[in-house]
A and B are shown apart, each in its own frame.
Chain A
Amino acid sequence: MPNRYRAVAPRVSKNYTIQYPEVTIIKAKNGIPVHVIKAGTKNVMKLDVVFKAGTRITDPLIPKATADLMVEATQTYNSEKLSNIIDTNGAFLFSEADRDRVSISMVVIEKFFDNLIHPLYETIHKPKFDTVDFNRYRIKRRQQHIHALESTSTIASRAFGSQLYGKEHPYGRMANVHDYDNLDLDKIRDFHKKHYVSGGTYAVVAGQFPDSNFDKVMEVIGSIPNGSNTDKNDYTPQPEEPKLNRITKKDAKQATIRVGDFCINKAHPDYATLRIANTILGGYFGSRLMQVIREQKGYTYGIGSNLISLEHGAYWSVSGDVLLDKVDEVLADIRNEIDLLKIKPIAQSELEMIQNYMMGEILQNFDGPFAIADTYKVLTDYGLDFTYFENLKEAIQTITSNKLCSTVQQYFNYDSALKTVVSCE
Chain B
Amino acid sequence: MMKYSTRKLKNGLTVIIQPDNSTPMATFSLLYGVGSRDEDPNKTGIAHFFEHLMFSGSKNVESFDHAVQMAGGESNAFTSNDVTNYYITLPADNIETAFWVESDRMLNPVLTHEKLEVQRKVVIEEFKQRFLNQPYGDVNLYLLPLAYQTHPYRWPTIGSDASHIENMTYQEAQDFFNQYYQPQNAYLCVSGPVETNEMFAMAEKWFAQIPSTEMPFRQYPQEKSQEEPRFLTLERDVPSDAIFISYPMYSRLDPKYYAADLLSDILSSGKSSRLFRNLTLNNPLFTDIQAVITGSNDPGLFLISGRIDPKIELEEAEQAIYEQLEMVANGDFSEQELQKVQNKAAANIAYSQMNALNNALSLCNAAFLGDLTLIDKEESLYLQVTKEDILAVAKEIFNPQKRSVIYYKSKK
> Which A residues are closer than 8 A to B by beta carbons?
1-3, 6-7, 9-14, 16, 18-19, 39-42, 44, 79-80, 83-84, 86-91, 107-109, 112, 136, 139-140, 143-144, 146-147, 149-152, 250-254, 284-286, 294-302, 321-323, 352-354, 356-357, 359-361, 363-364, 366-371
Contacts and interface: CB of A to CB of B under 8 A. Distances in A.
Contacts of B59: 6
A109 B93 CA distance: 32
Contacts of A1: 209
Interface string B199-242: 00000000001100000000000000000000000000111100
Given A12-B70, A300-B125, A367 B89 contact: yes
Interface string B130-161: 00111100000000000000000000000000
B117 A298 contact: yes
13 contacts: A9-B61, A16-B72, A88-B340, A88-B343, A108-B347, A136-B281, A146-B240, A147-B239, A151-B133, A151-B135, A286-B66, A321-B125, A367-B25
B238 A150 contact: yes
Given A144-B288, A363-B91, A18 B209 contact: no
Q: Which of A41, A147, A149 has the most CB of B within 10 A?
A: A147
Interface of B: 20, 22-25, 59-61, 65-67, 69-74, 89-91, 93-94, 96-97, 99-100, 103-104, 107-108, 117-122, 125-126, 128-129, 132-135, 209-210, 237-240, 269-273, 277, 280-281, 284, 287-288, 307, 309-310, 336, 339-341, 343-344, 346-348, 350-351, 353-357
Given A86-B270, A87-B270, 12 more contacts: A88-B340, A89-B343, A90-B343, A90-B348, A143-B310, A151-B134, A286-B66, A298-B121, A360-B94, A361-B72, A363-B25, A367-B25
B93 A371 contact: no
Given A10-B96, A42-B353, A300-B125, A356 B71 contact: yes
Contacts of B210: 2
A18 B23 CA distance: 11
A362 to B, nearest CB: 9
Contacts of B90: 360
B281 A152 contact: no
A152 B357 CA distance: 32
A141 to B, nearest CB: 9
Given A42-B353, A367-B25, A6 B73 contact: no
Contact of A9 (B67, B120, B121, B273): B67
B277 A80 contact: yes
B57 to A, nearest CB: 11
Contacts of B135: 147, 150-151
Contacts of B340: 84, 87-88
A12 B93 CA distance: 8
B71 A360 contact: yes
A93 to B, nearest CB: 9
Nearest to A135: B284
B271 A357 contact: no
Contacts of A367: 23-25, 89, 355-357
Contacts of A253: 128, 132-133
B72 A254 contact: no
A296 B356 CA distance: 33
A318 B121 CA distance: 21
A284 B74 contact: yes
A297 B118 contact: yes
A356 B69 contact: yes
A327 to B, nearest CB: 13
A368 B237 contact: no
A363 to B, nearest CB: 5
Contacts of B23: 366-368
B97 A91 contact: no
Contact of B100 (A9, A109, A368, A369): A9
B239 A296 contact: no
Nearest to B206: A6
A108 B346 CA distance: 12
Contact of A83 (B93, B96, B272): B272
